[in-house]
Amino acid sequence: MKKRTGVFVCHCGINIAGTVDVKNVAEELMKHSNVAHSEDYVYMCSDPGQKLIENSIKEHSLDSVVIACCSPNLHETTFRNCAKAAGINEFQCEIANIREQCSWVHKDKLKATEKAKKITHSTVERVVKNKSLEPISIPVTRRGLVIGGGIAGIQAALDMANSGYEVVLVEKSPSIGGHMIQLSETFPTLDCSQCILTPKMVEVSKHPKIKLLTYSEVQEITGYVGNFKAKILKKPTYVDPTKCTLCDECIDVCPIVVPNEFDLGLTGRKAIYIPFPQAIPATFTLDIANCPGLLPIACGKCMDVCEPEAINYDMKPEIIEEEIGSIVLATGYDLYDKENMKEYGYGKYADVLDGLQFERLLSASGPTMGEVLRPSDHKVPKEVVFIQCVGSRDPELHCAYCSKICCMYTAKHAMLYKHHVPDGQAYIFYIDIRSGGKDYEEFVQRAKEEDGLVYLRGKVSKIFEENGKITVWGADTLAGKDIEINADMVVLATAMRPAKGAEEFAKKLKISLDKDGFLSEAHPKLKPVESVTSGLFFAGAAQAPKDIPEAVAQASGAASKAIIILSQDQLFHSPMVAKVSLNLCTGCGMCVDVCPYDSLSLKDNKAEVNEVLCEGCGTCSATCLRAAIEVKNITPVQIYEMIDASVGG
């Protein structure tokens, strides 16, 4: 049956009609043998405009329409919905862009009108050969995956699980908790970090909908939104958590001592260990990298003493495959490497610490049981220098960005130090104070006023050890003088970096990172938790430096986005996908090579399209020598006709 196309030319006030003779365009197109109706109207996108289109479709029994108006980026959806409302397939509606690409860029009305006719004619040729298409529906695996078990990952997993969906939570270290569990008290309220986090950790471990995989890493993610497959490597802990009674016997006998990661090297731990008492899962882990050897057994002491026989040297790495509908990435941060901050004596002098080490010193469960003592001689430091922006806001040498939370935690550190050592003196070098956030400015002011902190605006030029003191040379730019402080301890607010291995991990998962290595969101304003891959969301410090409330808020945001996917009965995918003509295809596989989405494969010597993966880019179709593959509704035959119309007479 011959197509009956309607052409609707919009004036867009004078935006189009000022340069294009819209009536003439409509009249001209009426001559086309497929055009059953054409008209012009002042604002097609207005309600009456849309009504007009709807009525014309019905009145003239149109089966396809071309709207000659502004860019399809603006109103394609409007008009497709309008076509749909009038009972025709939405893919039978195409937009001829005669505004941005014509009326707005030309002056000569005659010529602009001729060009508008060609553009509209070309679009009519396209629509005449358009097929009615239905969005491709894809099933959804109603199961979420959260990668990273810091506060952000924990929150996202809990939100998803509490909405009734199963969640797999993967954490690479032996326990969940992330950096928050290492903190002492948290700004601005000074609640104890462990006190507010451990209940959530326990909730995770007890939640019937959460499958927790610690000491595990995601190796591969394949598939697409609604239907991902994750391959997860679970490393052996050599301790059966169901049997381990946390009796500590093994620790007592283990002869190997290594720096304790949880205390950032301020204490030691054994090769068999529990990261911290409230670890979830509550069990021991045998750190094979530091154990003298299991196969053949070199020591075996722990196994000998373990009464419940929880220790099993034969445990093997396990590959766990999970089917997943949507994913939240919450791999968090790490602090800027010591290596990079040699100029501050960081890593060289025992009493130069980073913020997290200082958190451990402040922590009631820390190496000093909450007493602030110098690591070098366990004396109470009477003068402490805090330095902000270490490695941050330094585009030449370090990171260009602001790590955002250091101003706040430094104020907190100095304040807590004063609470522990009331007669001590705290100096803070800063560039400026950024305390945007609810109650944050008040917190900083309180620290300044009540605790008598000395804020020095300026940079530190040199730090060196002398007679058991750490001498800090700096400048107070406000007072305009040089300063020398003989401190007992220096605490550096080092920059927040994406978690170690994030780059490799991103490569494996084909996720894009921003210039600093943080996860890059789909839109900085409107899609802050979405990645460009649909079905993959971000939460926490992996996306940018953040404090806990922000990490938690973003986690809930990401979880709700992930839930939107999980809650669908099915998802829809654009039907403008590749299609193979089996009679032409010789199975050369060139299209398979070029497809950026791995949506093509060879089956029985012919190309086969996985419609769900295909994004309709058409690269395959230009590559195929036999023109055996084309993208629906923008086929070579359509282009052929469009070229005809575009060249014109």
**Of 89-108, which residues contact another protein (CB under 8 A)?**
97, 99-102, 104-108
Closer CB to ligand SF4, 85 or 588, in the complex = 588
**Taking CB under 6 A as the rule, does residue 424 contact ligand SF4?**
no
| Span of 160-168, 170-178, 459-467, 638-646 interacting with ligand FAD by CB under 6 A | 170-178
User: Residue 173 touches which of another protein, ligand FAD, ligand SF4, none (CB < 5 to 8 A by kind)?
Assistant: ligand FAD
Q: Which of the listed partners (ligand FAD, ligand SF4, another protein, none) does 607 bind, with a CB threshold of 5 to 8 Å by partner kind?
A: ligand SF4
Residue 73 binding partner per list ligand SF4, another protein, ligand FAD, none, with a CB distance cut-off of 5 to 8 Å that depends on partner kind: another protein
- For residues 332 and 499, the answer to whether their CB atoms sit within 8 Å is yes
Sheet holding 481-487, edge to edge: 460-466, 469-476, 481-487
CA 234, CA 317: separation in Å to the nearest integer? 6
Toward ligand FAD, which CB reaches closer, 355 or 575? Answer: 355
* Cβ nearer to ligand FAD, comparing 150 with 281: 150
Q: How far is the CB of 505 from another protein (least distance, A)?
A: 19
What is the Cα 509 distance to its own chain's centre?
12
- Which of these segments, 365-373, 516-524, 545-553, 562-570, binds ligand FAD (CB under 6 A)? 545-553
Q: Which of 173, 365, 581, 610 binds another protein (CB under 8 A)?
A: 581
User: Cis before residue 367, ω within 30 degrees of 0?
Assistant: no
646 is a contact residue toward another protein (CB under 8 A): yes
Say whether residue 526 binds another protein (CB under 8 A): no
The answer to whether the Cα torsion of 122, 124, 128, 132 is positive or negative is: positive
Q: Does 171 bind ligand FAD (CB under 6 A)?
A: yes
Nearer to ligand SF4, 235 or 606 (CB): 606
Strands (E), 235-365: 257-259, 268-270, 272-273, 285-286, 318-324, 326-329, 333-335, 352-354
Q: Which residues contact 398 (CB under 8 A, 6 or more apart)?
A: 336, 340, 391, 392, 495
Q: By CB under 6 A, tell whether 306 contacts ligand SF4.
A: no
152 contributes a contact to ligand FAD by CB under 6 A: yes
Nearer to another protein, 503 or 644 (CB): 644
Task: Using CB under 8 A, pick the residue from 111, 382, 527, 603 that binds another protein.
Answer: 111
What would the x/- binding string for ligand FAD be over residues 551 to 590, using CB under 6 A?
x---------------------------------------
| Beta carbons of 331 and 147 less than 8 angstroms apart | yes
Q: Which is nearer to ligand SF4, 51 or 626 (CB)?
A: 626
Count residues binding ligand SF4 (CB under 6 A). Answer: 31
Question: Which residues between 1 and 30 bind another protein (CB under 8 A)?
Answer: 1-2
Nearest CB to ligand FAD, comparing residues 172 and 374: 172
Structure tokens at 639: 């282009």
Residue 497: which residues within 8 A CB-CB, separation 6 or more?
333, 334, 335, 336, 337, 399, 517
d(CA 70, CA 419): 65
Residue 599 interacts with, from ligand FAD, another protein, ligand SF4, none (CB under 5-8 Å by kind): ligand SF4
85 vs 356, beta carbon nearer ligand FAD: 356
The single residue among 204, 614, 639, 645 that binds ligand SF4, judged by CB under 6 A, is 614
How far apart CA 373 and CA 316 sit, in angstroms, is: 42
The count of other CB atoms within 10 Å of the CB of residue 606 is: 16
Residues 305-344 vs another protein: string with x where CB under 8 A? ----------------------------------------
Please tell me the distance from the alpha carbon of residue 91 to that of residue 633, in angstroms, as a whole number.
8
- What tokens were used for 384? 């402490």
Q: Between 404 and 423, how does the x/- string for binding to ligand FAD read (CB under 6 A)?
A: -x---x--x-----------
- Among 473, 364, 450, 355, smallest CA distance to 408 is for 355
Q: Residues with Cβ < 8 Å from 597, sequence gap 6 or more?
A: 613, 614, 615
Question: At 193, which helix (H) or strand (E)?
Answer: helix 193-206
Report the partner that residue 153 touches, choosing among ligand SF4, ligand FAD, another protein, none (CB closer than 5 to 8 A by kind).
Answer: ligand FAD
Under the binding rule (CB under 6 A), the answer on residue 156 touching ligand FAD is: no
Please list every residue from 548 through 607 that binds ligand SF4, using CB under 6 A. Answer: 577-578, 580, 585-591, 594-595, 597, 599-600, 607
Tokens linked to 613 = 């993966």
Helix, strand and coil in the chain, % to nearest 5: 30, 25, 45
**Strand 268-270 versus strand 272-273 pairing type:** unpaired
Q: How many residues bind another protein (CB under 8 A)?
A: 68
| Degrees to nearest 5, angle at CA 107 with 103 and 113 | 55
For ligand FAD, the binding residue among 19, 103, 141, 186 (CB under 6 A) is 186
Q: What is the distance, to the nearest Å, from the Cα of residue 643 to the centroid of all Cα atoms in its chain?
A: 42
Cβ-contact 430, 456 below 8 angstroms: yes
Binding mask 65-84 for another protein (x = CB under 8 A): ------xxx-----------
- For ligand SF4, the binding residue among 624, 639, 642, 645 (CB under 6 A) is 624
Output phi, psi for 362, to 5 deg.
Answer: -80, -20
Instruction: Report the alpha-carbon distance of residue 361 to residue 367 in Å, rounded.
Output: 6
CB of 245 to ligand FAD, least distance (A): 25
**Cα 86 to chain centroid, rounded:** 40
Query: Which residues of this protein are in contact with ligand SF4, per CB under 6 A?
Result: 577-578, 580, 585-591, 594-595, 597, 599-600, 607, 609, 614-620, 623-626, 628-629, 631
Query: Which residues of this protein are in contact with ligand FAD, per CB under 6 A?
Result: 147-153, 170-173, 178-180, 183, 186-187, 217, 330-333, 335, 355-356, 359, 405, 409, 412, 499, 501, 505, 540-542, 546-549, 551
